[in-house]
Structure 1
Amino acid sequence: MADNAHNHDAQGGTEIPPANTGLIWRTFIILSVITAFEFTLAYLMKAGGLRTSIFVGMTLVKAFYIVGEFMHLKHEVKSLIWAITVPVLFIVWLLIALLTEGGSIFQLR
């Protein structure tokens, strides 16, 4: 009986769990739908600020979804999520401010 328990313990961690392909397919479908919507907008909408804003917004949604799913951030504690999200928001704000203010140099001359 002791020999049987020893063999069970030695082989207990060697089994490979079944793949969770449903989650992978769901992620693939969600990202494909968002990408297809982006391509549709690219061909149907005129170039302008609204189209650019929609593209930036959808790109951020896809980026946060990819980070949450593939980097497993979705399953982390909230303080880590906020520690990553807040600096990213400040960087986006900085880029918008720099692009907005950078264009004003041509208006002064």
Structure 2
Amino acid sequence: MDFDRTAEYAHKHSEEEGKKVRKMIWIIFWVLLAVTTAEVTLGLVWQDMGISWGLVKWTFIILTLVKAYYIVMSYMHLGGERKNFKMVVAIPFILFAIYLIFILLKESTFLHAIDFSPLAD
């Protein structure tokens, strides 16, 4: 058995294809770095800028979903699959994420509505 796959890879793929793949990897790297930098910067300076905490939370949620999309589509190789397969894989996770966000926001507002004063007696 031949376990050396580099020779097999070299025969099937040209240098131009390799350059395209490396360029795409670097583009994705820079996008992920920019999104992460934006999140960290926003987390450090949101109070100084006078931005409401609700807007900051939604911005974090959206930027995290953008990062998750790029990671799944590129590094987990889902980007090259057919559209139907992408939807079969992605839709349950999207629905689960929306459900989790809804539950977190709903329960956080419910917690503030509870009157804890009888417990203090």
- TM bucket, shorter chain: 0.7 to 0.9
Determine which structure has greater relative contact order: mean sequence separation of CA pairs < 8 Å that are 6+ residues apart, divided by chain length: 2
Identity %: 30
| Residue 14 (structure 1) aligned to one of 7, 13, 23 | 7
Partner of 2:84: 79
1:68 aligns with 2:70: no
Partner of 1:107: 113
1:43 aligns with 2:44: yes
Q: Deviations over 1:37-75 (max 9, x none)?
A: 112211221361110110110010011101111111111
Which entry has the higher C-alpha Rg, 1 or 2?
1
Aligned equivalents of 2:7 and 2:88: distance in 1?
Answer: 36
Partner of 1:91: 96
Please tell me the residue identity of whatever aligns with 1:40.
T
Partner of 2:60: 55
The answer to which of 81-90 and 69-78 deviates more is 81-90
Aligned positions, number? 97
Aligned equivalents of 1:108 and 1:42: distance in 2?
Answer: 29
TM-score of the superposed pair, with normalisation by structure 1 = 0.74
Change (3 A) 1:44 1:21: same
Once superposed, what is the RMSD of the aligned Cα atoms?
A: 2.2
Aligned equivalents of 2:8 and 2:30: distance in 1?
Answer: 30
Q: CA deviation at 1:90?
A: 1.4
Partner of 2:33: 32
Q: CA deviation at 1:100?
A: 3.0
Please tell me the residue identity of whatever aligns with 2:98.
W
Q: Identify unmatched segments of 5+ residues in structure 1.
A: 1-12
Q: Identify unmatched segments of 5+ residues in structure 2.
A: 1-5, 116-121
1:23 aligns with 2:12: no
